[in-house]
Structure 1
């Protein structure tokens, strides 16, 4: 094996993140029929917030507050309560991405495995337990706990310290987001693999060491 450590992003790298399905479930429990139009409107608020979060202009708590503000007012509840219900719904419907279980099982015992995610602590821990992944990953670094998000080098440095500072060329970062995962990894000096399932166009100035369209393809490369 070329690597001592393989680090994975969580959402859309190890786990499928179907936010619309999760929100339909959470709002159904509140007696609301949540439509695709409602979801589009929510995403028009939510997506820029994640960019702000990754850029360090807002923190995790602010993101969680602002994204559900309008719905909290509408339903006469708090943003904290809506966040809890949403994360619980997302944990309930969580499913590993195609090939994730096979890849993680194949790598276990041959390389050390870690996760670096910009997601929220509450959701990540439940999903790792429910999918049986928890025992395979000896490192789980969550931006909400560290206080900075990918692509900030500080979150990579935090994980790197916990890993015992292995040679950087023997560390591979795998993720679906070219900015937070790939650029973040490259700037920190580790090797990178872009999981480009939807075949997005290449981002100018970001050159991953590998680009794959599935975790099966990554498995073939790693075991070649």
Structure 2
């Protein structure tokens, strides 16, 4: 099977959003919230983590809820101030997934086209990408907020294929952690899929990923297997 392009999700795939949010939440509590003692602080951070829903929660809705439910250091703090803190600070905590740049460099050295498709606001996602300097490692970056289409809509995957000049979606693979947005979405557009385990539970019925990995570094071994299989088939023919 020919592999011409590999496209990646961003959050909890190329970057470790869960780690970033934990560090950001510490700073947020320090700035806005009364949380005396480590147990109280830990409880507030866990409250924030659950309310955030791994980034899938509307941000104004999230901070309206936190503003109402948590004890504020300054009663005059507004929801807008909290939102401003999010947009101004969260990207600063962005951390790469282990091996991300090494894997991208190796894939590019093998002649593959590389892309990113991510849901989120254009401002936030671009800021994360630039914070960890991923832009030069890929050929295409599509953010849902910039094209007004969100995963799992197949159209967003089709846009990436067009930018990468991949005529046959069967020659492209998509790597992501979300069973619905990433795996179902990519398959609906005709791409093959690799599920990165460990971040989202598998609750999708009726679909399975073409392959699955526990870390980004496993993609190199996976690609070697694909190349070996393709060479074997070619030799047999």
Taking structure 1 as reference, are residues 113 and 83 closer, same or farther at Cα in structure 2, changes over 3 Å only?
Answer: farther
CA contact (8 A) 2:22 2:45 kept: yes
CA contact (8 A) 2:170 2:190 kept: yes
Gaps of 5+ in 2: 226-237
* Distance in 2 (alpha carbons) for counterparts of 1:42 and 1:216: 31
Matched, 1:164 2:165: yes
Structure 1 residues 1-224: aligned runs within 5 Å: 2-17=2-17, 18=19, 19-30=21-32, 32-33=34-35, 35-47=41-53, 50=56, 63-72=58-67, 76-109=76-109, 110-197=111-198, 200=201, 203-224=204-225
Task: Please identify the structure whose Cα radius of gyration is greater.
Answer: 2
Gaps of 5+ in 1: 54-62
Shift of 1:105: 1.2
**CA root-mean-square deviation:** 2.7
Q: Secondary structure in 2 aligned to 1:13? A: coil
* Distance in 1 (alpha carbons) for counterparts of 2:167 and 2:62: 38
CA contact (8 A) 1:16 1:96 kept: yes
* Distance in 2 (alpha carbons) for counterparts of 1:27 and 1:202: 32
* Distance in 2 (alpha carbons) for counterparts of 1:203 and 1:101: 30
Shift of 1:209: 0.9
* Distance in 1 (alpha carbons) for counterparts of 2:90 and 2:2: 35
Shift of 1:211: 0.7
* Distance in 2 (alpha carbons) for counterparts of 1:198 and 1:30: 28
* Distance in 1 (alpha carbons) for counterparts of 2:54 and 2:224: 38
* Range that drifts further, 133-142 or 64-73: 64-73
Shift of 1:67: 0.9
Taking structure 1 as reference, are residues 221 and 44 closer, same or farther at Cα in structure 2, changes over 3 Å only?
Answer: closer
Taking structure 1 as reference, are residues 157 and 83 closer, same or farther at Cα in structure 2, changes over 3 Å only?
Answer: farther
Shift of 1:135: 0.6
CA contact (8 A) 1:23 1:89 kept: no
TM-score normalised by structure 1 residue count: 0.82
Shift of 1:198: 5.7
Taking structure 1 as reference, are residues 49 and 201 closer, same or farther at Cα in structure 2, changes over 3 Å only?
Answer: closer
Tell me how many residue pairs correspond in the alignment: 213
Taking structure 1 as reference, are residues 165 and 199 closer, same or farther at Cα in structure 2, changes over 3 Å only?
Answer: closer
